[in-house]
Amino acid sequence: MSRVLLCILSVNPTNLTLERTLDAIRHVESSAGKDSQDGDRGRAIGDYQIWRSYWTDGTLFLGVRWPYSDARDPAKARQVVRAYVLHYQRAGGYPATAETWARIHNGGPQGPRKAGTLPYWTRIRKAMR
């Protein structure tokens, strides 16, 4: 007699929200990769418009040594953005929300505390609908 073991994978809603947030950030920053020209006078590159200091932190948190030019690679950039926003969300004691991650991406480690990141969050929230 054989037994079949069924594994039911639970989907973590926080992970889904994070992935949707990353999609929205890419959409807002580069029209989902359709317009990924350098921004902020050449200081932000790739689909996620990543600055060098952001890349340095994110790759450190990931434990990789990727050159800054790899910020133009959407798959690597997404990994770096994920590592960056999660690290600073946890380090800052912020809630694990789309708003927190978007505002960290836009305003750095203190982004959720900066009023200047609220308009960016509005754009991300709209893109997530």
Q: Is 99 a catalytic residue?
A: no
Q: What are 123's two structure tokens?
A: 């754009």
- Element (DSSP H or E) covering residue 36: none
Separation between Cα atoms, residue 117 and residue 129, nearest integer Å: 19
Helix (H, G, I), strand (E, B) or coil at 45: strand
Helix (H, G, I), strand (E, B) or coil at 69: helix
Find the catalytic residue in 19, 40, 57, 70: 40
Q: Is 29 a catalytic residue?
A: yes
Alpha helices in 7-110 (DSSP H): 13-30, 52-62, 74-91, 98-107
Find the catalytic residue in 29, 57, 70, 99: 29
Residue indicated by tokens 């999660």: 86
Catalytic residues: 29, 40
